[in-house]
């Protein structure tokens, strides 16, 4: 099992599911997916250091949604085409984020461009 920032409980994704996904795609897609995942891990670690505390994926997602500069940096680190693609990729990695009402509200707000 892969784990995001050192967090004991819930936000883990299954390595077997990832391997199954990668085996069904072409080599270029596999490399892009692995680079995206590594970018997410590195960015989460960067934010944890920046805020000097542990951050779970939900907190990282909220920080990315609330701050435009952090969002742009996240897009650069993950090598995504745009913010929407980067955020949707993060939601695919951590499906429990979709259950939170707060993250749903912030996601809709950030995608629509409202302030």
pLDDT above 50 for 22? yes
Question: Which pLDDT value is given to residue 113?
Answer: 66
Please write down the HEC assignment for all residues of 72-109.
HHHHHHHCCCCHHHHHHHHHHHCHHHHHCHHHHHHHHH
Residue 1 lies in a domain: no
Q: Are 21 and 33 in contact (CB under 8 A)?
A: yes
Task: Collect all residues with Cβ–Cβ distance below 8 Å to 14 and sequence separation of at least 6.
Answer: 1
Length of the chain (residues): 115
Residue 104 lies in a domain: yes
Q: How confident is the model at residue 53 (pLDDT cuts 50, 70, 90)?
A: very high
pTM above 0.85, yes or no: no
Q: Where in the sequence is the domain holding 97, given as residue range(s)?
A: 7-112
Q: How far apart are CA 28 and CA 112, in angstroms?
A: 31
Residue 79 lies in a domain: yes
pLDDT above 60 for 6? no
Q: How confident is the model at residue 16 (pLDDT cuts 50, 70, 90)?
A: low
Residue 2 lies in a domain: no
Q: Which residue has the tokens 């629509």?
A: 112
Residue with the bigger pLDDT between 14 and 8: it is 14
Number of domains in the chain: 1
Give the Cα-Cα-Cα angle 42, 44, 49 (nearest 5 degrees).
95
Residue 90 lies in a domain: yes
């Amino acid at each position: 099992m892969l784990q995001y920032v050192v967090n004991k409980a819930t936000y883990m994704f299954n390595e077997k599911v990832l391997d199954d996904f990668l085996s069904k795609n072409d080599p270029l897609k596999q490399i892009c997916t692995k680079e995206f995942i590594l970018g997410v891990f590195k960015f989460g670690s960067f934010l944890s250091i920046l805020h000097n505390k542990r951050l779970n994926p939900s907190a990282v997602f909220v920080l990315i949604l609330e701050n435009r500069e952090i969002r742009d940096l996240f897009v650069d680190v993950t090598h995504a085409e745009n913010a929407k693609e980067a955020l949707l990729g993060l939601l695919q990695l951590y499906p429990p984020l979709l259950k939170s009402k707060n993250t749903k509200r912030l996601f809709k707000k950030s995608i629509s461009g409202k302030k």
